[in-house]
């Protein structure tokens, strides 16, 4: 009976972890450019000084789903979607560099260009800062063009260019902040082939319906494992009662 209890207990524990990953994906179903986390279950033998008579369940991450999300038109000049593959470079709070597909850009205080989550966007020479302007345009190559205040229409000037990268996907990992980084913490070089689509946003690649179905399935699995643990307890009590009668 202890084998049955061990299997049910480990299964329930890993099901809760899987539910956490699924809930995190579902919570970001409306986050621009979000990439879903993937995970899977596997059975493993418990080795030790005795015979390997115990098997436990293990839940592990199998990577990131890089399937592109759907692109929707917003009409907002600072909303950009990346065509095909590539990422926007941003600066993290610790001064490092990370990457995102979220193109919901904003102009914060001091003219700093940030993502909707507040991460400063990096350009050719560090963080992009735009001076006051009457009009700002963002080109397909990530170039910011602006019309200075009080100037005529022919006084357009290029201010900076977003750092766009396209490192190998298998070398990328996701941090707890949702940003992507290279596995060895190195910095990806700019890639001139990455193109932006202005006035559009890429939505999350999380399928809400699939995630809801998975949530229900995981809940039922957890309930089944709890019932197995209760059945083990009942069997143990019945066995103890029989032994008392024989004694």
Do 121 and 90 fall into the same domain? yes
Task: Output the pLDDT for position 5.
Answer: 74
- 175 by Cβ neighbours in 10 Å (0-12 / 13-18 / 19+) ranks as exposed
Whole-number Å distance between alpha carbons of 210 and 217: 10
Do 172 and 93 fall into the same domain? yes
pTM of the shown model = 0.78
Determine the structural domain holding residue 45 and report its residue range: 2-66+206-246
Do 79 and 192 fall into the same domain? yes
Do 178 and 197 fall into the same domain? yes
Do 76 and 196 fall into the same domain? yes
Do 48 and 106 fall into the same domain? no
Query: Quick check: 247 pLDDT over 60?
Result: no
Block residue for tokens 């809400």 = 208
- Region 191-215: what's the mean pLDDT? 93
Query: Quick check: 243 pLDDT over 70?
Result: yes
- 244 by Cβ neighbours in 10 Å (0-12 / 13-18 / 19+) ranks as exposed
pLDDT band at 246 (very low <50, low <70, confident <90, very high): low
Do 198 and 210 fall into the same domain? no
Chain centroid offset of residue 224 CA: 30
In this structure, are residues 198 and 140 in contact, taking their beta carbons and an 8 Å threshold?
A: yes
Do 190 and 165 fall into the same domain? yes
Do 54 and 104 fall into the same domain? no
Note the pLDDT tens digit of each residue in 102-144: 999 999 988 999 999 999 999 988 999 988 888 888 999 999 9
Do 36 and 62 fall into the same domain? yes
How many domains are there within the chain?
2
Do 109 and 198 fall into the same domain? yes
Do 47 and 137 fall into the same domain? no
């Amino acid at each position: 009976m202890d084998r049955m209890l061990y299997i049910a207990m480990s299964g329930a524990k890993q099901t809760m972890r899987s539910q956490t990953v699924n809930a995190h994906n579902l919570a970001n179903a409306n986050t621009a450019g979000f990439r879903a986390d993937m995970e899977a279950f596997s059975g493993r033998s418990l080795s030790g000084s005795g015979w390997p008579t115990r098997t436990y369940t293990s839940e592990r991450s199998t990577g990131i789903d890089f399937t592109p999300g759907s692109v929707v038109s917003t009409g907002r000049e600072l909303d950009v979607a990346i065509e095909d593959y590539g990422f926007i470079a941003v600066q993290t709070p610790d001064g490092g560099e990370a990457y995102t597909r979220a193109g919901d850009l904003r102009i914060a205080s001091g003219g700093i260009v940030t993502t909707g989550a507040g991460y400063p966007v990096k350009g050719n020479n560090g963080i992009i800062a735009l001076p006051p302007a009457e009009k700002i345009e963002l080109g397909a190559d990530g170039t910011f063009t602006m019309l200075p205040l009080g100037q005529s229409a022919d006084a357009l000037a290029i201010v900076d260019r977003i750092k766009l990268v396209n490192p190998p996907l298998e070398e990328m990992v996701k941090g707890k902040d949702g940003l992507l980084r290279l596995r060895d913490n190195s910095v990806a070089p700019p890639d001139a082939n990455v193109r932006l689509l202005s006035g559009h946003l890429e939505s999350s690649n999380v399928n809400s319906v699939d995630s809801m179905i998975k949530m229900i399935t995981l809940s039922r699995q957890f309930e089944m494992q709890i019932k197995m643990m209760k059945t083990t307890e009942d069997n143990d009590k019945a066995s103890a009662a029989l032994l008392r009668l024989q004694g």
